[in-house]
Structure formats: structure tokens, C-alpha cells
Amino acid sequence: MELPQRPKEDRFVKPGAFRQLCEQISRYPGVAEIPVLFVYAFDPRTRLGPFFIHDRILIPGAARAVPAALYAAGFRKIRVVLQSWNPRVRPSRALLDGDPIELLLVSSMQIHSAEAYRLIEDAWELGDSRPLILAGGPKAIYQPWDFYGLGPDGSRGADVVVCGEEYVLLELLDRILQDRLPGEPLRKAFQRVRARGLLEDIPGLVYRAEDRPGPPESLIYTGPQRLLQDLDELPLPIASLGLFEPPHNNRELSSRPLSPDKFGKYAKILTILSTRGCHFRCHYCPIPAYNQFSFRTRSPESLVEEITHVKTLTGINTFFGADDNFFNDRELVERIFQTMAQAKVGGQPFRDAIFFSTEATVYDVHKNQDLIPLAREAGLRALWIGVEDLTGTLVKKGQGPERTRTVFSLLRKAGIAPMAMIIHHDGQPLWSWKGLYGLLNQVNFLRRVGALTCQITLLTPSVGSKSYEKLFEEGKVLESVGGKPIEEYQYDGNHCVATASSSPIIRQLNMILGYVWFYNPVNLLTALGQVDTFWKSRLECQLLGMAGIGQSLYRMRNWLGRLMFGKIERHQSAPRPRFPLLSPESLLGVPSLAPAVGH
């Protein structure tokens, strides 16, 4: 189901509250000396498709935003670990300036959750000396119960799951630090605060009522988070650039983090936040409900300031806007492009100094097509466009072939690379003799109208979306293949885990053939003769795409074999929470925003 919503009058944090909270936390004694380890989980089994190298060179937003919020709140002993860079680092072996970790934060998407569980279990190896463990990220927001019941007897797990953004995390830490005694371990202060019921009025938390051996009988859920409406209140994630662990294969942390001037040696692309929310309500997407059907923004000046600082400090000039639909609000996007077009860094205008890319829909770009030349002046070099399905059979978002052709043509004319994203779904054939319904027909069309890349995903159950339960209840979601249960990393859009077809291997092979139709030696040779603005980029995309297909086939060989010859078993109902979620009020018989959820 979609996430529950707060009442409209109580949906947002009060203006100015975020910065006030940071100032308040920074005044607590000893905050700057608390050793903090933030780990962004990554499962290498998801390294598939034509963009397989990006996990090594792209820095996700949470890995900068959360440490930046902690830094703004006065924490100084922070180390950021990317598992894609440091796959063997263990919290139980981590020391900062010779001190063991006192606060462990693990952020994870659903597809990387196996690694997140492993990190949490490892921290428990420290026994009573273990750190306070907080879990966050998309997995935590939608399925917080999965961070409990870990270990041989189910006793292990996170102390608190933060089902929200930075403000929720800081509210939690503020409440703990208010009650913390001088020199007292953070986890001990947390246990006392929890026992006194002092966490129950902080929306966006899930935690055990008390620590007992074995798995919990139930979990306390304090209700949906309040959102930060003005994204300008967030601190610029500049300080976090000097907190990252250098890439290595050791279990322990290095003595020093990467300095900002060395950061660009490993990181090539930074995600950057400019907006949150989307006005479309696609049945397979959880984003509108997560944002409580709001559209949140930051000022163009703040965006320019962040880009300028990052480029100056690190030399990194490539930024990916982590937007759900950048062209959602015309007035805002026009102001952003105008401000960026007038900005300079290192004496150069943004047009020449930076490479900015983001996501949008065909409909919204077409509606605002007059802004495309201005977008290029602002430094926009590539636009990832959610075409989804050219015929509108899967979802109608105003795309259509002619509108797509027009948008791609205008983008190319302005020097902006169109990057297509489509979804292969049930009912869509590999090829159709007429029209554009076939997958290969659409791939061929997109290449001919100028797409430099094409991302093909399989329609997959997305937790928090409107269609999530329906796919399970209709018996479309695979439970096991060849006697092996489906794992969470396989919900990545690259594995066929949901289809009504009696032969899921056909859907899987269709996706692979779609990629081969776009990335192949013939198209590479054709690209050699297309001498234009995108000549070099087009060749690079073809080469990386072919390499990605090759390594994906190798990595998926066992999966393909089981899918072709193994027994297929399917879910008959949607998975329920592993442990019931109870609101603090419900324990007293009082109605609450946090509905009780059973098994």
C-alpha cells in the first residue's frame, strides 16, 4: 500500500525549525567528540546493465546529505563509507582517532538490504560495547520491520529505524542527547529515553519497546514523518566532501578520510537535490505518496552555490539532479535555468564549466520546450527522459511518438543528449509488425530519433506503490525459481520477478534482446560516421553498453538457467510485516496517525 499521510495542516515541519534544531544539538556537551560511522550499503550483485560502472563513480545523495546534517548539528568525528568503494569495512573493526564507533548509521535501498543486515549484525559482535545502530534510507521507510529479528536467535537488529529524512534523524538525536549524562555511551542514553516514553512524539520512528532475547513480538511506530517544505533549510552538503573513506579492501578504517582536493580522483559524478515530488501518479511508483503529494523545492541561488563550491573544492564538474520530475514546475525551472545561465565558476560560464543532467517526462519537456535553449546555457548536457511506453499502454503520461520525436530533436539541436528510459511489461511483444507496441520497435525508434542511451527495466513490484499488493494477489510475483527463493536484490528491474507469463524467461530474454538491439557493433560502426556534437559520447555509450551486456550475461548465467529450466513458484498474497507495528497511543487504546499493522 501507499505510505500513510499526515493531515494537510500537519504535513510540514515549521519554517526555521531545522536550523534551530541543528543549533540546539550543537550546544550539547561532547557532541563533537562522538565517533559516527555512516555506511551506504551496496550489493554488488546489482551491478548489471549498461550503466554498471556508475556505482563506483557516482556519489548518492544520502551519502552527502545525512553527514552534512550531522556536521551542521555539531558532530565532527564522522566517517562516510560507500560499500561500492569499501566492500570489506566492518563496523566491529572501525576506529576513529583510536576510538570505537558510538553511532552507526546504515542507509540502504531495498535492493542493497542484504548488505545492510550484514553490517548491523557485524556491529552486534561488539556485545555490550556496540554502538547505537540506526537504519535509514528507502528500505527503512517502506519496510522498517525487516531490520529486526536478525541473527541466529532473532535478537539482533537496529535500535531505531528512521522512516524519514534528516529532520527525523536530528529530532531523535536531540531527544537522546538532552538526557545523556557526561561521558555516557549514546546507546545507554537511548535505552533510558526509550524506557521513559520520550520518543513517542517524534513522527517517523520504528523501534522495539524493550530489549529482550529473541525477535520482537511487535514494534512501536510513531506515524508518518513531517516533511521539510523549504529545501533551502538543509545545509549545503559541502562539509561532507571531506568525510569520505578512501577506496580500499581493508576491514578497518583508514587513519584519515579523503581530502576534498583528492575526492575528485575517485568520484566523477555527484547527485544534487533541487526538487522533490511529481504531479503524475503512476500506479507502479511510490514517489508521490512518499512526498505526501507535495512538490518541494530549493532556491536557484542555493543550487548554484552548491555547484560552485563543489567544483572549486574538488574539481568535479558533473552533477546529476536527483529529481523526480525536474520540469514539474515551469516557473521554478525557468528561474533555475536563468540563474545557472548567469553563473560562473573558475571564470567560465556554467554552459562550459559544468555537465548537469537530470530527469523529466516527455510531456513536461514538450510543454516547456521553449526553455530548452536556456537549459543548455545553464549547463544542462543530458536529460534522462521517462518515456516508459511510447504507445501509452502501460501508463499514459502524455508521451506519444511524435511528441517524443519533437522533444528529442529539440534537445539534440540545443546540444543536450536525450537519454531514454522505457519499461518492458506484460502484453508487450518483442516485435510488432505494425505500430510501435513491440519492445524492439520502441528501442529502434528511440535510437533513430537520437537517444544516446536506452535504459530498459522490467516492471517490478515497488514497495509503497498503488499496484504493489495487486501484483502479488494476482499471482504474478515469483516466490522461487529452481528451488531458490527470490532475494531482495533481484527487485532491481533487471530480473524478471513479476509477470503473468507462464514462461518468465521470455520476458527476461526480451529485455536482454532489447539492450542488444540498441548496443551492438553495427550501431557502434554507424555511430562512427555520425560526426556531430555527440560523436564521442555516442561511441562511449555504445562501448560501455556492449561491455555492460556482456558482464550482465555472465553474472546472470545461473539465474537465466534456473529461469529457463527450473520450477517456478509464485506468491498468492502480498508479504505482510514480519512484526506488527503498533502506535504508542494504540497501546493505551487511543486513536493515532500510526495504524496498527499485523502479520
If DSSP states are collapsed to H, E and C, what string results for 350-390?
HHHHCEEEEEEEHHHHHHCHHHHHHHHHCCEEEEEEEEECC
Q: Looking at this protein, which amino acid is placed at residue 591?
A: P
- At residue 554, the pLDDT reads 97
Is 179 found in the same domain as 321? no
CB 497 within 8 A of CB 491: yes
CA–CA distance, 230 with 245 (Å, rounded to integer): 31
The Cα 179–Cα 208 span in angstroms is 19
CA-closest candidate to residue 37, choices 65, 11, 67, 58? 67
130: Cα within 13 Å, side-chain hemisphere: 22
**pLDDT tens-place string over residues 147-170:** 999 999 999 999 999 999 999 999
- How far apart are alpha carbons 261 and 166 in whole angstroms? 27
Of 388, 523, 393, 358, nearest to 447 by C-alpha is 523
Residue 595 lies inside a defined structural domain of this protein: no
> Is residue 417 one of the residues assigned to a domain?
yes
Closest to 282 in 3D by CA, of 204, 363, 223: 363
Residues 274 and 218 in one domain: no
| pLDDT of 539 over the 70 cut | yes
Q: Is residue 248 part of a domain?
A: no
**Same domain, yes or no: 285 and 226:** no
Query: 38 has which bridge partners?
Result: 80, 105
Q: Using pLDDT thresholds of 50, 70 and 90, give the confidence band for residue 588.
A: low
Q: Is residue 225 located within the same domain as residue 306?
A: no
Contact 495, 457 (CB under 8 A): no
**Cβ–Cβ < 8 Å for 211, 191:** yes
Asked if 210 and 301 sit in the same domain, the reply is no
Residue 435 lies in a domain: yes
Q: What's the pLDDT at 198? A: 95
Q: Total structural domains in the chain?
A: 2
Do 441 and 325 share a domain, yes or no? yes
Helix residue ranges, H only, 227-361 = 260-263, 287-290, 300-314, 330-342, 350-353
pLDDT tier at 493 (50, 70, 90 boundaries)? very high
Cell triple for 488: 531482495
Mean pLDDT across the stretch 467-495? Answer: 96
H-helix or E-strand containing 509?
Answer: helix 504-518
Inform me whether the pLDDT recorded for 556 exceeds 80.
yes
- Mean residue pLDDT across the chain: 94
CB contact set of 526 (below 8 Å; sequence gap of 6+): none
- Helix, strand, coil shares of the chain, percent, nearest 5, are 40, 15, 45
pLDDT value of position 594: 44
Judge if 152 and 288 occupy the same domain: no
3-state secondary structure of 394: coil
Average pLDDT over residues 34-46: 97
- Exposed e or buried b for every residue in 44-67, given b needs 16+ CB within 10 A? ebbbbbbbbeebeebbbbbbbbbb
pLDDT at 597 over 80: no
Stated length of the chain: 599
Same domain? For 31 and 117 the reply is yes
pLDDT tens column, 222-265: 999 999 999 999 999 998 999 999 999 999 999 999 999 999 99
CATH, residue 415: 3.80.30.20
552, containing H or E segment:
helix 535-555
Q: Give pLDDT, residue 587.
A: 59
Model confidence at 398, pLDDT cuts 50, 70, 90, reads confident
Which cell numbers hold the place of 134? 540506526
Query: Does 353 lie in the same domain as 209?
Result: no
pLDDT of residue 136: 97
159 phi-psi bin (left φ>0, alpha ψ -120 to 50, beta other): alpha
Half-sphere exposure of 327 (CA within 13 A, CB side): 22
Is 287 found in the same domain as 170? no
Strand partners, 386: 361, 421
**pLDDT at 29 > cutoff 60:** yes
Residue 106 is assigned to a structural domain of this protein: yes
Q: 179 lies in a domain? A: yes
Residue where a domain terminates, one of 176, 208, 230: 230
Confidence category of residue 207, pLDDT binned at 50, 70, 90: very high
Average pLDDT, integer, range 399-423: 96
Q: What is the pLDDT of residues 96-131, one digit of tens each?
A: 999 999 999 999 999 999 999 999 999 999 999 999
Which pLDDT band holds residue 395 (cuts at 50, 70, 90)?
A: confident
DSSP 8-state secondary structure symbol assigned to residue 206: E
Percentage of residues in the chain with pLDDT exceeding 70?
97
Whether 409 is covered by a domain: the verdict is yes
Count CB atoms within 10 A of the CB of residue 129.
12
Q: Based on the domain organization, do 19 and 116 belong to the same domain?
A: yes
Burial (CB count <10 Å: 0-12, 13-18, 19+), residue 228: buried
Give me the domain span that covers residue 518: 268-459+498-566
> What is the tens place of the pLDDT at every residue in 375-389?
999 999 999 999 999
Distance CA 276, CA 323 (A): 6
DSSP 90-109: -GGG-EETTEEPSEEEEE--
pLDDT digits (tens, 9 = 90+) for 64-103: 999 999 999 999 999 999 999 999 999 999 999 999 999 9
**CATH at 200:** 3.40.50
Residues 173 and 280 in one domain: no
Residue 3 pLDDT: 86
C-alpha cell read off for 481:
525459481
Tell me, yes or no, whether 423 lies in a domain: yes
